[in-house]
Amino acid sequence: MLIKNVSILQSGHLVLGQDIRIKEGKIEQIGPELQKERGDEEIKGKGKLAIPGLVNCHTHLAMSLLRGYADDMELMPWLEEKIWPLEARLTEEDVYWGVKLGCLELIRFGITCYNDMYYFPDVTAQATKEMGLRGFISGVVFDMKPELLSQVEPFIKRWKDDELIRPAVGPHAAYTCSEETLLRAGEIADRHQAMVHMHISETWKEVDGFLLSRGKSPVEYLDSLGLLNSRLTAIHCVWLSEEDCYLLEKRKANVVSCTASNLKLASGIAPLNTLMKAGVNVCLGTDSACSNNNLSLFEDMKVTAIVQKNAYHTPAAFTAEQIWQFATENAYRAFGLNNGMSVGANADLALIDLKKPWFYPQSNIVSHLVYSMAGGVDTTIVNGRVLMQNGIIPGEEEILEKAQQRFIRLTSED
């Protein structure tokens, strides 16, 4: 495949007239005037910017089926009164079409890899693979459904050698898993060197509960169980002490901030300034389309930048370049992804049509990507396979129809 005459970002500046040769799922060559080789599929890149694929570091993708189902509530009533009762009715087919609906949105927003925690992980993995996206997929584990823990290791064994899917371990949170459950989940992850995906310190009530009952924060408690390490994606981390921030860095844990979801649930604002000062690897996630309510990292980048600037009364903080790293390089580091606009990297990239008013004047492109990007990308490529070209995703219409049918069935008993 040869992407012709596209612009790329180099050190934050636009470099025009570049060609990108892709072979066997990798970027083989980048430069001007590359010769077309026999059999090369050519993609016209004139007027477009090629960006490395974005990584959504926290989703419950199948919850795209529940978008708009339960707004305007805080976390625990939202879960206990609305979400968990509805999820009790979920079938594998609901999850399959919900994941496909979510994949459509990820593709349209230039996201080539995502990190998921939900029910029926085999179905999530299969649907993701069919859509062509890279995914770190974990089956949720919590004591409400004790049978889920025993399904983790077989799931890992089934998917551990897949090219696009990386099986992970998903203990829901410290407040929904017993110590025994957390220890066993950690042992399984250690045995398979799998990523661990966990909601941590999302609300003040969660943290206050631990301080009162255990005399330590959730972060300190999880560290006492050996769960803090470089394979952990610690989701939310809104209510952290300074000691928690330095402990997360000491253990090289990754923090995933889900600003829009935190704000919509009125959970608070994560202390990203302290985390960055401590040297923690900070990434971004949208959480589900049921608490955001979309899966656009462009939107979460902008929201994170402006909310954090205001929180610290420092407009100069959280620059567009730093925020862009949250959604790209920091995420690649967290998941050990060989991604980026460089020779030998995975051919996971997106093309953005720059002929849009919000990209003019064509000056500070990273600023435009973070502060003014609107809509979606034009073309999305994962592992060298074109998933969307010129805004067209094959099979989209059927997925939209099926998702609508599944939502109607799922909520018909309400």
Ligand X SMILES: C[C@H]1O[C@@H](n2cnc3c(O)ncnc32)[C@H](O)[C@@H]1O
Residue 288 beta carbon to Zn ion: minimum distance, rounded to whole angstroms: 6
C-beta of 289: minimal distance to Zn ion in Å?
Answer: 11
Rounded CA separation 106/102 (Å):
6
Q: How many residues bind Zn ion (CB under 5 A)?
A: 1
112, 53 in Cβ contact below 8 A? yes
Q: Is 348 in the site for Zn ion (CB under 5 A)?
A: no
Inter-CA distances, 377 with 15, 286, 320, 336, 390, Å = 19, 17, 19, 25, 9
Residue 173 or 410: which CB sits closer to Zn ion? 173
Q: Is 202 annotated for ligand binding?
A: yes
Contact 170, 139 (CB under 8 A): yes
Cβ-proximal residue to ligand X, closest one: 140
Smallest separation (angstroms) from ligand X to the CB of 409: 18
How far apart CA 317 and CA 23 sit, in angstroms, is 40
**Residue pair 197/168 in contact by the 8 Å Cβ criterion:** yes
Q: Which does 291 bind (CB under 5 to 8 A by kind): ligand X, Zn ion, none?
A: ligand X
In the complex, least distance from residue 187 CB atom to ligand X, rounded to whole angstroms: 21
DSSP state of 380: E
- Exposure string for 17-50, b = 16+ CB within 10 A, e = fewer: ebbbbbeeebbbebeeebeeeeeeeebebebbbb
User: 95: helix, coil or strand?
Assistant: helix
The angle subtended at Cα 155 by Cα 284 and Cα 178, nearest 5°, is 70
Q: Return the number of the residue (257 or 346) whose C-beta is nearest ligand X.
A: 257
Is 197 part of any known ligand binding site? no
313 assigned binding-site residue: no
- 401 annotated binding-site participant: no
Per the annotation, does 206 bind a ligand? no
Q: Tell me if 87 is assigned to a ligand binding site.
A: yes
Nearest-approach distance from CB 47 to Zn ion, in angstroms? 37
Q: In angstroms, rounded to a whole number, what is the distance separating the alpha carbons of residues 123 and 102?
A: 13
Report the b/e string of 381-399 with b at 16+ CB within 10 A. bbbbebbbeeeebeeeeeb
**What is the rounded CA–CA span in Å between residue 121 and residue 9?**
36
One of 87, 287, 300, 348 touching Zn ion (CB under 5 A) = 287
Q: Which does 206 bind (CB under 5 to 8 A by kind): ligand X, Zn ion, none?
A: none
Cα end-to-end distance, the chain, whole Å: 50
100 binds, among Zn ion, ligand X, none (CB under 5 to 8 A by kind): none
106 vs 341 by CB, closer to ligand X: 106
Cβ(381)–Cβ(347) below 8 Å: yes
Q: Which is nearer to ligand X, 19 or 202 (CB)?
A: 202
By beta-carbon proximity to ligand X, the closer residue of 166 and 199 is: 199
The site partner of 292 among ligand X, Zn ion, none (C-beta below 5 to 8 Å per kind) is none
Residue 52: Cβ within 10 Å count: 24
The residues binding ligand X (CB under 6 A) are 60, 75, 79, 83-84, 87, 117-118, 140, 172, 199, 202, 261, 287-288, 291
- Identify which range of 83-91, 201-209, 280-288, 295-303 contacts Zn ion by CB under 5 A: 280-288
The residue whose Cβ lies closest to Zn ion is 287
Q: Rule CB under 5 A: say whether 116 interacts with Zn ion.
A: no
192 a known binding residue?
no
Enumerate binding residues for Zn ion (CB under 5 A).
287
Annotated binding site for Zn(2+): 58, 60, 199, 287
